[in-house]
Copies of this chain bind each other. A is one copy, B any other.
Amino acid sequence: MSQVQSAREVEAGKTGGKISIILSKGTIDMVYPAFFIATTAAAMGMEVHMFFTFWGLDAVRRDKVEKLKLSPVGNPSLGMPNILGVLPGMTALATMMMRKRMAEKQVPKLYDLIRQAKELGVKLHACSTTMAVIGLKESDLIPEVDDVVGATTFLQLSEGGQVLFI
């Protein structure tokens, strides 16, 4: 990108340099891509905002951040018959297998990935509406969360940039 073009984009306040991610899922296979994209974009110098809503809030809850699961049910891609997927323990097994494979490939743990994202400047926003519905307090969230905001604030933050709904 030429300097002139870059300057024009910064001036216009909506360069490709900003990406916002709405995370609405709480399973490993969706939370990881969200953080991979966030850290990658931040490492490239982009401004990155993440908004945790609905099940996505699990990723930043003190009691869940280390315990996210991967459900084998309803995921035919896993190649596991549904009848097996519903047996008690199969979610845990699928989760364990994925964790093991990810560890072997040196994929960082989720909390480490969150800390890395923070170091790179990624902003973490929790959805105030979801928290009210679930009955969560700010102290239930990991301290890395920057603030608890509504959809209006998030849309203002993401204005002019790319937005992903995960």
Q: B-contacting residues of A (Cβ < 8 Å)? A: 1, 5, 8-9, 11-16, 19, 22, 24-27, 29-30, 32-33, 36-37, 40-41, 43-44, 46, 53-55, 58, 68-71, 73-77, 81-83, 85-88, 90-91, 101-102, 105, 107, 129, 132-134, 150-152, 155-156, 158-166
Contacts and interface: CB of A to CB of B under 8 A. Distances in A.
Count of identical protomers in the assembly:
3
Given A54-B33, A83-B86, A166-B165, A151 B73 contact: no
A24 to B, nearest CB: 6
Nearest to A94: B76
A145 to B, nearest CB: 18
B152 A40 contact: yes
10 contacts: A5-B11, A9-B14, A27-B77, A29-B55, A44-B155, A69-B76, A102-B133, A162-B162, A162-B163, A163-B163
